[in-house]
Amino acid sequence: MSVKTPGIALAIAPMASMLILLTVGFTFLGLSIEVLMLVAAAISAGIALYLGHTWQDIQDAIVDKLKTTLPALFILIIVGGLIGSWMAGGTIPMLVYYGLKMISPEYLLVTAFLVTCVVSVCTGTSWGSAGTVGVALMGVAVGMDANLAAVAGAVVSGAYFGDKISPLSDTTNFAPVVAGTDLYSHIQHLLWTTIPGFILCCVVFFFMGHSAVADGGVPEKITEILTNLDALYSFNVLLLLPPLLVLGGAIKKLPTVPLMLGACLIAVINAVLFQGFDLTTATSAFLNGFNVSMYADMGIEASAVVPDVAKLVNRGGLSSMMGVILLVFCAFSFAGAMSVTGGLTIVVQAMAKGIHSVTSLIGATLATTIIVVSTTCDGKLALLIPSELFRDLYRKLNLDPVNLSRSTEDAGTIIEPLVPWTSAGIFMASTLGVATLDYLPWAIQCYTGVVFAMIWAVTGKGIKYLKKAPTTESLTPNAAH
């Protein structure tokens, strides 16, 4: 049977069906994203079969897609174990503890931003950071009769600063996977758009948020968290060995998986030697995540752990990443089935007619990512779909994949909490008690990524090429941008 080439309508059909399924099924009906992605994959496979491809062709394409992501998926799984073991070993609680001690009520906005940055970088979770220290900081703001929208914006900015660049963040791990680059190169390239936003946040929050406070003491809720962490953990400098191992190894470009496993092993040893957990409990935290119920073996009742601390430490474990891995499998089943028809190439070729420069390509990536996150309400799909659409076009323009992964994070991960109907927007608004559109102007870190991404695209700064910058003969006259 001869294989037919799809027309533009049939080429668009798989992506259109996926967007419709996710918009209607997930947003309005609350159906599982994984199931909807499999339905979209089935539609794509049906189109491929109609065009004359065999099931073996489809299966091979899916396997090829997954095969390229396996090394990164191993890292993603180990990140879960790393978080769980670091919780049990006391590494993350200690970093949070000393981060909270930085609070100065006299500089509420900039302090809220910086403290949440520290916690989110250490934990890799925007939701956990906002749901713990963010809630505490909002309580401080209420007591000081401060601008709640501004404080919420500072908290959201800090929370997504870490969610964007922390090696413990699932989206920071996921973006390079789907773009075709590695974690540390991705984080390093993100600094071009993240650090300017960070500096701008510090300046704005310092000058706009400075106010004299009569009571310069540490707020009661913060004191409660500090006291509880101090009672539960034994802090010492050796607890810094796991992150120092990971950071030092990253600088020396040592293999990531052995580094992370080594850091997990040290954290498990710390949990036994310094925190009083037995080996079974410590390894269970690595496998299934840490939970306050694990304190029972040490004679500490779960009720002795304050709710905010429980929210912070109940995280991690290899098993915690299985949901993300399942989503990757379902998403790449769709991507693999769609790739068989060659429809993606046809769509990209149609889009590429208006893309002749670095500026237009990055602009198209940012716009597409924002559209996907707004229509599907899912940050990970906003990383996946543009990566699938534009990956080959980046290579064609001699651009390193880190430009693609950075662009999707700039317009996906940190834009999501600014959209009121996404899960991130709903969570932040309900958790902090401030409407999404109210804190949006103050969530400076979240939208400056797009601004600086376009500035660097236009100026040519912060753009990484595979070999050397393309000459003006290889692209259109404005290709140098």
For the segment 239-263, what is each residue's pLDDT rounded down to a tens digit? 989 888 877 776 676 787 898 899 9
For 3-13, the pLDDT digits (tens) are: 888 888 888 88
Looking at residue 251, its pLDDT comes to 65
Q: Comparing 61-75, 177-191, 356-370, which segment has the lowest mean pLDDT?
A: 61-75
Per-residue CA distances from 41 to 17, 31, 60, 118, 338 (Å)? 10, 16, 14, 40, 7
Round to whole Å and give the CA distance between 393 and 386: 11
Over residues 424-435, the mean pLDDT reads: 82
Over residues 25-33, the mean pLDDT reads: 80
Over residues 446-471, the mean pLDDT reads: 84
Over residues 437-456, the mean pLDDT reads: 92
Spatial CB neighbours of 29, under 8 Å, sequence gap ≥ 6: none
Over residues 114-139, the mean pLDDT reads: 80
Looking at residue 152, its pLDDT comes to 92
For 210-226, the pLDDT digits (tens) are: 653 444 445 677 788 88
Looking at residue 285, its pLDDT comes to 92
**Residue 377 pLDDT grade (very low, low, confident, very high; cuts 50, 70, 90):** low
Q: Which of 14-18, 64-68, 109-113, 377-381 has the highest mean pLDDT?
A: 109-113
Over residues 59-81, the mean pLDDT reads: 81
pLDDT score of 479 more than 50: no
Share of the chain above pLDDT 70, in %: 89
pLDDT score of 14 more than 60: yes
Round to whole Å and give the CA distance between 86 and 103: 24
Share of the chain above pLDDT 90, in %: 26
Looking at residue 456, its pLDDT comes to 93
Looking at residue 143, its pLDDT comes to 57
Looking at residue 111, its pLDDT comes to 87
Q: 0.75 cut: is pTM over it?
A: no
C-alpha closest to that of 149 among 416, 429, 417, 425 = 429
Residues in the chain: 481
Looking at residue 144, its pLDDT comes to 63
pLDDT score of 331 more than 70: yes
**Residue 145 pLDDT grade (very low, low, confident, very high; cuts 50, 70, 90):** low
For 277-319, the pLDDT digits (tens) are: 999 999 999 999 898 888 887 778 877 888 878 877 888 889 8
In the chain, where the domains are located: 8-64+324-422+441-459, 72-321
In the structure encoding, which two tokens stand for residue 352, read together? 């590429």
Looking at residue 362, its pLDDT comes to 92
Per-residue CA distances from 142 to 64, 99, 108, 137, 148 (Å)? 54, 21, 11, 9, 7
